[in-house]
Structure 1
Amino acid sequence: MSVPAPPAASDPSAESPASRRREQRGWYVYDWANSAFYTTIISVFLGPYIIEVAKTAACGKDFPRLDAGACARDFDRLTVQNPGLGYVDVYGMDIRPAAFFGLITTVAVLLQIVILPMVGALADHTGRKREMLGGFAYAGALAAMGLFFVEGDRYLLGGWLFILANLGYGASIVVYDSFLPQISTPDERDRVSSQGWAIGYLGGGLLLALNLALFLGHEGLGLTEGEAVRIAMMSAGLWWATFTIVPLLRLRNRPVPAHEGTALGSVGGSFRQLWRTLKELRRYPLTLLFLVAYLVYNDGIQTVIGNSAAFASEALKLDRTVQITAILMVQFVAFFGALLLGRLAQRFGTKRTVLASIVVWTVIVVMALFVGEGQAVQFYLMAFAIAIVLGGTQALSRSLFSQVIPKGKEAEYFSLLQISDKGSAFIGSLTVTIALQLTNSFRIAIMSMVIFFVIGFVLLALVNLPKAIRAAGNEVPSNL
C-alpha cells in the first residue's frame, strides 16, 4: 500500500532547477519520438496506401480475371461500370475501399473516447505514470512497425494495426501531458510546453524528410513504391520506440495517497475517481468554460489542417509534389513558430498571445477564398502563416489548461481534454461536409471555419483566468 505523500512531494517548486531541467529535457524527447507516427503515418503515407491495399482485395474478389495492377489503376471506371461490385468485406459490411481509411479512423476515435478517461483516472490513481507512458508508447510503436507486413490484400490487418497504434498514441499523450504540471512551475509552463511542441515538429519533420527521400528515390534503391511506403511506416514505429527510452529514463513517478492495492481495486477506484471528477467539474465553471473555448477553436484548427491537402488538390488544382513540400515546410517552420509564440507569451501574456493567434487563423481561412487556382506560391504563403501559429496556439493552450486543473488529477483532466478534442472533431468535419454539399466549393467549406474561431475567441476572452487558477487551488503565474 502506498504511503501518503507530503504536500511538497508533487510541488515542482520544491525541487531544484537542475532536477526540473533534467526531467523537462527528457519530457521534450517524447514529443520528438511520437510525432513521427503522426507525420509519417497519419499525415502522409497510410491513408493512400491502405486504400490501395483495399482496392487490391476488391479486385481479387470482384475482378479476378484482371491483372491486379491494371485493376487498381482502372478501379474507379470499373466500379462505375459495375455499380454492385468493388466493395471489401469488413465483418459483414460492404465498404468501398476509398471509405475504409475513414472507417478505421472513426473506430479509432470512438475507442479513444471510451478508453482515454480510464487511462487518465488509472494514471492518477496508481501514480505509475512512467510505466503507463512506456507501456502505451511501445504498444503503439510495435503496432506501427507491424504496418510493414500490410501488403497484398491484408487491409483488415492494416486496419487493426492502425487502430491499436492510434490508441497507444492517444493514451500515451494523456499520460505525457499530465507530467507537465509536475515537472514545471507555473511560470515555466509556457516555455516548457512550447519547447516540447516545437521539438515534436522538428523530430516529425526530420523523419518525414528522410522518408520522402526514400519514397521519391525508391526506384534507384531497387524498391517498389509499396515497399518504400511500408519501410517508411515501419521506420516511424522504430523511431517512436527508440526515442521513448529517453523520457523513460528521465521522468519519475510522484507518490500518491493510499489506495487499493490490487489491480482490480485500482481500476474500480479509477472509475469512481473519474465519476467524481465529472461531477466536480461543476465546482470549476471557469475551467469548464476554458475547456469549451479550447474545443471550439481547436476544432477549427484541426479541421483546417485535416482538409488542407484536399483544398490544395480540389480547389487549387496543385499536384502532389507541392502538397508534400508544403507539409515538410510546415513541420520545420512550426518548430520556430512554437518557440516564437512562447516568447511572445512571456512578453505580452499567454492569453493575449493565444487570442492573437486565433485572429491570425481567422484571417488565414478568409484568405483561402482569394488564393488563385494553380498558384503554388500563394499556397506556400498560406501554409507558412499556418505553421507560425499552429504549434504555438496548441502548446500555449495546453499550458493554460494545466493551470486551471486541480493538483493530483492531471491525467484525468488531460484525458477529458483529449477525448473532447476527438469527439468535437466530428463537428468540424460535419460542417465542412455540409458546406461542400450545399456549395460544392472547398473554398467556402474552409472559410466556414471562421465561425469556430470567432466563437472560440469570444469564449476564451470571457474566461477570468486568474480566478479560474485560484479556484483550482493553483498559483497564478506572472506572465498570464
Structure 2
Amino acid sequence: MADLTAATATGAPGYADRGERTGWYFYEWANHGFYTVCVTVFLGPYLTAVTERAADAHGLVHPLGIPVAAGSFFSYVVSLSVFLSVFALPVIGAIADRSARKLELMAACAFVGAAATILLLFCIGDRYLLGGVLFLVANIAYSMSIVVYYSFLPQLAPPDKRDSVSSIGWSYGYVGGGLLLALAVVAVLVGPAAFGWQTAEIARWAIASAGVWWAGFTIVPLVMMRNRSPLEGVAHGNPLVFGFKQLGRTLAELRAFPLTIAFLVGFLIYNDGIQTVILLAAQYGTAELKLPQTVLVPTILMVQFVAFFGALGLGAVAKRIGAVKTVLGSLVAWILLIVLAFFLPASQIVPFVAMAAGIGLVLGGSQALSRSLFSQLIPAGKEAEYFGIYVISDKGTSWLGPLLFGLVFQLAGSYRFAIVSLIVFFVVGAAVLAFVPIRRAILAAGNTPPDLL
C-alpha cells in the first residue's frame, strides 16, 4: 500500500497524489471489460439465444412458473438485479463509510463479480436460468464495488479539479474495455473462417475473459491506492446489522438536503435511459436491424474509442461553460439519437455506425460530469452511503428502462417502439436537472462550489 502520510504535490493534506489517482483510474480500466464485453455486447444476445432454445412453441419460458417472452428475459433479469441492488447498494455504502478497509471491500466485491462472470462459461444449451442467476450475482457485485470505488472521488482532487479527474477515469475505462473488446472482435472476425469456431462459443469465452480481466486489473488499485480513517470512526460488531441501521439514519438525514435529492432524482431518471440504450443496443442491432455480430461488435468497439475522446472533450467543454450546461446539452443529443435509432433501416450498416459514433461522443462525458457534480452534493464522510443510492442507476444497473423496454416489446412486438419509448427518461430527467440550483445545493451540503458550474 502507498504511504499513509502521502499528500498532493501542492501539499494539501487528504487529497491523493498522482500515483493514487492513477490507481483509481485503473479500476475503471478493470471493470469496463465486464461492462463493455459482457453487459454491452455479448451477454444480451447470447443469453437471449440460450433462452430461445429453452422456449416453448409460443416463444415463452417459465422461470418460477411465470410466462416470459424469450426476447424479454434478459431485460427482466437486469431489472431484477437493480431491484435487489436497491437494498444492497446503500447498505454496502454505509458499511464502507465506517470501514478502515474500504479498498479491500471494493476488491472483494470485484472478485466475487469476476468469479460469477467466469462461471458463465457453463451457461450452455438451454441453461438460461443458470445464466440469469450468475448475471444477477455478477451485476450486483459489480455495482457494490462501484459504490465503494466512487466514494474515493472526493479525496482525489479539490472541487475545481474533480470534473477533470472523473472524466480521465471514464476515459481509462473506455480504453481498457475497448482493448479487451478488440481481442473479441479479432476472434469474431477471424475465428470462424480460420479455426472453425462457432460465434456462440466465441461469445461465451469473451464473456468469461471479461471476468479474468476484471479480477486481474483490480490488483492495480489494491497496490497503488490507500485506505483513510473514516471521519466518524470505525464501526464495530456485525457489519450487516450496522449497515442497515446506518442506512436508516442516512435516509433520515437525506431529507435535510432536498436539493441533493432533486439532483439525484433527475440523474436516476435520465441515466436509466442512458444505461438502457447501452445495455440493449446489441439486442436491438441483432433482433430488429438484422445486423450480424461481424458488424455489431466492431461498431461497439469503435464506440469505445470515440467515447474516450468524447469523455475528455465534454470535460474540456465543461471547463468553459460549466458541467451543468454540458450535461443538459448531452441529454438533448441523446434524445435526437434515439429518434434516429427508431428510423434506422434494417440491414444497413452505415446509418447504424453513424448513430453509434454519435452515442460515443456523448456517452462518457454525460456520466463522468454527473458523477463529479454529485460528489460535491454529499456531506463529508457520507460519500459511499450517498453513492450507494446514486449507483442504483449507474453503469448497467438501470431498472425502469429495461422494464419499460421489455414490456413495450412484449405488448407491441416491436423493438422500434421499445427503443423510442426511452425518450421519456431523457426529457423528464433533463427537466428535473434544469430546475436544480446546483451552487446552492453544494453550499447546503457544506462544500465549496467550483468557480464555474
In the superposition, the TM-score normalised over structure 1's length comes to: 0.83
Task: Determine the structure 1 residue equivalent to 2:220.
Answer: 246
Sort the Cα spacing of 1:27 and 1:151 in 2 relative to 1 into closer, same or farther, 3 A. same
Q: Determine helix, strand or coil for the equivalent of 1:14.
A: coil
| Correspondence for 2:35 among 32, 35, 38 | 38
Cα distance in 2 between the residues matched to 1:152 and 1:386: 34
Range moving further from structure 2, 149-158 or 296-305: 149-158
Distance 1:314 1:24, change over 3 A: same
In the alignment, the residues of structure 1 paired with residue 297 and residue 216 of structure 2 have an alpha-carbon distance, to the nearest angstrom, of: 26
Return closer, same or farther for 1:338/1:53 CA change in 2, 3 Å cut-off: same
- Report the Cα distance in structure 2 between the residues aligned to 1:472 and 1:366, rounded to whole angstroms: 38
Q: Counterparts of 1:248-263 in structure 2 under 5 Å?
A: 248-257=222-231, 262-263=236-237
2: CA distance between counterparts of 1:439 and 1:100? Answer: 16
Greater shift, 205-214 or 441-450, is seen at 441-450
Q: Residue 72 of structure 1 corresponds to which residue in structure 2?
A: none
Residues matched between the structures, number: 448
Larger RCO: 1 or 2 (CA < 8 Å, sep 6+): 2
Tell me whether 331-340 or 415-424 shows the greater mean CA deviation: 415-424
Structure 2 letter corresponding to 1:204: G
C-alpha separation in 2, matches of 1:33 and 1:423: 15
Question: Within 2, Cα distance between the matches of 1:279 and 1:359?
Answer: 34
Report the CA distance shift for 1:414/1:442 in structure 2 as closer, same or farther (over 3 A): same
Quote the Cα distance in structure 2 between the aligned partners of 1:180 and 1:262.
25
1:304-335 deviations in Å (ceiling 9; x for gaps): 33343344445544444332222111111111
For the 8 Å contact 2:76–2:403, the answer to whether it is kept is no
**One-letter amino acid matched to 1:288:** I
Alignment of 1:10-409 (within 5 A): 14-15=12-13, 19-54=16-51, 58=54, 79-80=56-57, 90=63, 100-152=73-125, 154-219=127-192, 220-221=194-195, 223-257=197-231, 262-264=236-238, 266-313=239-286, 316-409=289-382
Inter-partner Cα distance in structure 2 for 1:236 and 1:165 = 11
Q: CA RMSD in A?
A: 3.2
Distance 1:225 1:454, change over 3 A: closer
* Deviation readout 1:19-59 (Å, 9 max, x if unpaired): 52211110000001011112111222223333444566x4x
SS at match of 2:159: coil
How far apart are the structure 1 equivalents of 2:200 and 2:110? 26
**Structure 2: gaps (5+ residues):** none
Distance in structure 1 (CA, Å) of the matches to 2:421 and 2:50: 34
More deviation, 416-425/297-306: 416-425
Query: Once structures 1 and 2 are overlaid, which stretch shifts more, 243-252 or 305-314?
Result: 305-314
Separation in structure 2 between the aligned mates of residue 98 and residue 441 of structure 1, nearest angstrom? 11
Cα deviation, 1:74-118, whole Å, max 9, x if unaligned, reads x7xxx43xx5xx876756667665555345434322221221111
3-state SS of 1:271 partner = helix
Tell whether the 8 Å contact from 2:79 to 2:403 is kept in structure 1 after alignment: no
Partners in 2 of 1:287 and 1:13 — Cα distance? 31
CA distance in 2, matches of 1:369, 1:53: 27
Match of 1:66? none
1:283 Cα deviation after fit: 0.9
8 Å Cα contact 1:274-1:412 kept in structure 2: yes
Could you tell me whether the CA contact under 8 Å between 1:124 and 1:411 is conserved in 2?
A: yes
Gaps of 5+ in 1: 59-74
Q: What's the TM-score once normalised by structure 2's chain length? A: 0.88
- Aligned residue identity for 2:226: R
